[in-house]
Structure formats: C-alpha cells, structure tokens
Amino acid sequence: MQPGGRPRVDAAPDDLVGTAGTPSRHARRGRRPGRRHQRVRPRSDEVAQPGLHGADPTGPRGPRGAARRSRAPPTLTHVEDPSQRRVDYADTPFEEGDLAGTPLHQFRHWYSAAVGACVVEPNAMTVATADAGGPSARTVLLKAVDARGFVFYTNQRSRKARAIDADPRVSLLFGWVGMQRQVGVRGLASAVERAETDAYFRSRPYGSRIGAWVSEQSEPVASAAALHERDAQLRRRWPDRGRADDVPTPPHWGGYLVRAWEVEFWQGRASRLHDRLVFLAAAGTPAPLDDPGAWRVERRQP
C-alpha cells in the first residue's frame, strides 16, 4: 500500500492512468501476456477488491503463472491519475546560514538525517551518464563519501562503465523524497585504486561476490535459468568457506570515484518556492569536498 492509502499497481507507464475495464493501448492491439509488452493482469480474486495490489506478472506465481492466465480484457481498479496527486511540502526553510561550510559536511549532515528518518536505502543514488548513444541513468549504492568524492561499485564492462569511458562527466542524484530533499552532484568519474576495490569486495556477502562474476552486466541473456546455472557453477568453483578471500575480485568489477565540481542541496518548500543552495567549484574542475576555500555558494531559483 502506498502512502495515501491507495493500492499499489505495478503497471507499465501507459497503464498508469486508466479506468477499470479499459484495455490499454497494447491490449487493444492484441499483444499477449508473457510477451515484451505484457499488460498488468490482476488475478480474478484481485479484481475489484480494494486494498489488494494489482497483479504483478512476475509476482509470487512467477512468469509461467502469468502466461497461463486467461486472455480476457485486462481490468485495473483503483489506479490513480498522477496529475491529481498533491503533496503539500512542510515549509522548512533551508537558508544560507543553515549550510555547513563544505559540501562534505553538509552531505554528511543530510545523509545522517536520512538514516535517522529511516529513508529506505538512503545511500541509493541515480547515476546519469551520456555518450554518443545518448543519456542513460540507473540506481547504484553509494559505498563511500570522503574529501575525494562519492564512490560506487559496478561492473566495469557495463553500459554505464562504457559511457564513463567515453565521457567521464556524470551526475548523481540522491532523492530523499520522503524528506522533501534531494542532493544533486555533477563531477568526473574515474576508477578507484585496485586495493580499494579489493578491500570493499572482500567485505561483501558471499552471494554478492559470486554474483559479481555471474553477471555480464547490461548484456542480453537467454533466460533467468541460464544465470542461475552460471551462479551454481561458480559456487562450485569457489565454495563458501566463510572466508573473505573465498572468491577473487573479478578483474572487470570495481569502484568509481566521482570527484565533484557542483553539489546542490534542495529542500522542498511550500508553494514550490523551494530552497536550492549549490556549492560550486570552478566548472569542470573537481575540488576537495572538505576544503572550505574551494567552493562558493549560489542560490538558484526553484
């Protein structure tokens, strides 16, 4: 159940606004469940029962269950119109005088507040990249922040890694929406030292260490079963003996450090008159996040 007491419906974007019993564009074209354009199709016992989630075709019964469902026109109930959603932001000012002296201190302050407020995965951030193929964005987890910048780990042959190779300028976004806050970062990404990657890799749970070998991240795969088979093979190759070095660090896996030249702290305010306070170093030139002399502060219009 989402805030506001409405049932959640896992729907494709064009299914988001709809009325009960109205087939989607895809459904009208006769696309079938189990195909790429699969339509959300509630189980019969979920239809028109307030408080139940819409059926997720990859849900508890799995994709096969979804494929066996009837081909009756899909029925969605209780799908809200997002244009009608309104959240009144608490009018909590965020003034220049409230800002810490450096981006690092301010980030740590807000990050601690997000942890304290029980934000789910407060270290989740969007990483946006751009290359000749266009922009792309995805969520990753922040694993370190210090004077150098922001660190995340990933497959270094993935789409994002290839984009970073082509253009190391990236943007990060922490969306602590429940707190009516976001932090945006612009900076340059570069691979961290191998020793730092190794130290972090060894701290990961066994399954995650195996998983880093299993996935040729961003590449197509024939089936989920193929991945699970590879997972099983690799678990046989490097069994879990409860040691940090049971699984070697994949050579194609590692950390990226994002050294920032811009860090924006955004606080929601009433009537959309939000506060935006931005630490700026010289454009394109990353600066130490803990150096008060390296940054100037600019207020931007919301």
Ligand X SMILES: Cc1cc2nc3c(=O)[nH]c(=O)nc-3n(C[C@H](O)[C@H](O)[C@H](O)COP(=O)(O)O)c2cc1C
Question: Quick check: 126 binds ligand X (CB under 6 A)?
Answer: no
Find the binder of ligand X among 56, 108, 130, 136 (CB under 6 A).
Answer: 136
d(CA 110, CA 240): 38
d(CA 276, CA 163): 29
Find the binder of ligand X among 75, 106, 158, 182 (CB under 6 A).
Answer: 158
Q: Which of 108, 272, 276, 299 is catalytic?
A: 272
d(CA 217, CA 140): 13
The SS3 of residue 71 is coil
Smaller CB distance to ligand X: residue 22 or 218? Answer: 218
8 Å CB contact between 68 and 254: no
Contacts for 113 with CB less than 8 Å, ≥ 6 apart: 179
CB of 34 to ligand X, least distance (A): 23
Smaller CB distance to ligand X: residue 43 or 159? Answer: 159
Cα-trace Rg, the chain: 23
| Residue 272 CB burial class (10 angstroms; 0-12, 13-18, ≥19) | exposed
Question: Quick check: 144 binds ligand X (CB under 6 A)?
Answer: no
Smaller CB distance to ligand X: residue 27 or 170? Answer: 170
Find the binder of ligand X among 69, 138, 157, 202 (CB under 6 A).
Answer: 138
Sites for ligand X among residues 215-254 (CB under 6 A): 217-218
d(CA 61, CA 44): 14
CB of 153 to ligand X, least distance (A): 6
Smaller CB distance to ligand X: residue 102 or 129? Answer: 129
Question: Quick check: 140 binds ligand X (CB under 6 A)?
Answer: yes
Quickly tell me which residue has 């009960």 as its tokens.
Answer: 20
Is 61 catalytic? The answer is: no
Catalytic residues: 272
Binding footprint of ligand X on the chain (CB under 6 A):
121, 124, 136, 138-141, 152-155, 158-160, 217-218
